[in-house]
């Protein structure tokens, strides 16, 4: 498995502000994935981040709201922009290792007030 | 899009009992993954399945990849209090790298 570190682990933010979440992996990976887990719900893929190209967003998620950076093969950031209380969720980054096994960071618990 | 139906939604069992949960879909999957999520943590991979009919164990956990490639189950034998958590199935379809997740099964254990 990989060591996947996310920062911050939790935050409470004011509506209208933005938060950038960092994800660091201890090995080089081609793709990194960002998920959202709303309270009491399952995981929903936000976007796939490839190094050197723009992220690919899933239906219902747009770059203006969730800009992603992928400056190298071990690091990515997800920004939640212009936050509202509906953005209160756990945000998780993930990488694929060993053929098709997905591993997750510990998550960032975001509360928007 | 692809969807996974996971059941049961929740279980409240006695310590020592066996547990069974499953996921079904109308779509074919090439990979099935089972995860456990504890409060405040990210999902942790328990078992990965790659071939139809494959039966894989990890300690007290056993999972199977259905023959039709449209379902999978996870069994936990002789449950203990630390088995408490949310269990998710996830499948990877024939095309692309995306994982689709089930809604989760909340497991509670009475000691």
Concatenating the DSSP letter of every residue in B6-68 gives EE-SEEEEETT--EEEEEE-SS-EEEEEEEEE-TTS--EEEEEE-STT-EEEETTEEEEE-TT
Kindly report, residue by residue over B15-69, the tens digit of the pLDDT.
999 999 999 999 999 999 999 999 989 999 999 999 999 999 999 999 999 999 9
Segment A104-111 shows an average pLDDT of 97
State mean pLDDT over B98-106. Answer: 94
Q: Give A76's pLDDT tier (boundaries 50, 70, 90).
A: very high
Contacts of A100 in chain B (CB under 8 A): 30-31, 33, 48, 50, 92, 97
Contact assessment for residue B76 and residue B61, using Cβ atoms and an 8 Å cutoff: yes
B85 touches chain A (CB under 8 A): no
Measured between CA atoms, the residue of chain B closest to residue A48 is B98
Q: Are the C-beta atoms of A83 and A71 separated by less than 8 Å?
A: no
Q: Is B92 on the interface with A (CB under 8 A)?
A: yes
Tokens matching residue A27 = 């090995």
Best residue in B42, B103, B104 to probe A by mutation, most A CBs within 10 Å?
B42
Pair of tokens at residue A17: 């502000």
pLDDT at B1 over 70: no
Whether the pLDDT of residue A2 is over 90: the answer is no
CA–CA distance, B70 with B52 (Å, rounded to integer): 9
The 3-state secondary structure of chain A reads CCCEEEECCEEEECCCCCEEEEEEECCCCCEEEEEEECCCCCEEEEEEEECCCCCEECCCCCCCCCCEEEEECCEEEEEECCCCHHHCEEEEEEEEECCCEEEECCCEEEEEC
| Mean pLDDT calculated for residue range A19-47 | 95
**Closest by Cβ to B45, choosing from A41, A45, A103:** A103
- Do the Cβ atoms of B52 and B68 come closer than 8 Å? yes
Least confident of A47-51, B78-82, B83-87, B96-100: B96-100
Q: Are residues A106 and B42, on separate chains, in Cβ contact within 8 Å? A: yes
Predicted pLDDT at B93: 86
């Amino acid at each position: 498995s990989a060591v996947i570190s996310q920062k911050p682990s939790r935050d409470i933010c004011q509506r209208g502000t933005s938060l950038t979440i960092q994800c660091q992996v201890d090995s080089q990976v081609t793709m990194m994935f960002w998920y959202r887990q709303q309270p009491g719900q399952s995981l929903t893929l936000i976007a796939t981040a490839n190094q050197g190209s723009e992220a690919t967003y899933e239906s219902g998620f747009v770059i203006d709201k969730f800009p992603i950076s992928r400056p190298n093969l071990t690091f990515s950031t997800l920004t939640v922009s212009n936050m509202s209380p509906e953005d209160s969720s756990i945000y998780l980054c993930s990488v694929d290792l060993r053929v098709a096994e997905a591993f997750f960071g510990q998550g960032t618990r975001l509360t928007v007030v | 899009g692809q969807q996974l139906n996971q059941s049961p939604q929740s279980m409240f069992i006695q310590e020592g009992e066996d547990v069974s949960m499953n996921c079904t879909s109308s779509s074919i999957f090439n990979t099935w993954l089972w995860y456990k999520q504890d409060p405040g943590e990210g999902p942790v991979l328990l078992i990965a399945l790659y071939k139809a009919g494959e039966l894989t164990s990890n300690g007290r956990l056993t999972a199977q990849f259905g023959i039709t490639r449209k379902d999978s189950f996870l069994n936990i034998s002789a449950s203990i209090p630390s088995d408490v958590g949310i269990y998710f199935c996830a499948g990877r379809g024939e095309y692309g790298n995306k994982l689709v997740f089930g809604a989760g099964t909340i497991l509670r254990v009475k000691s």
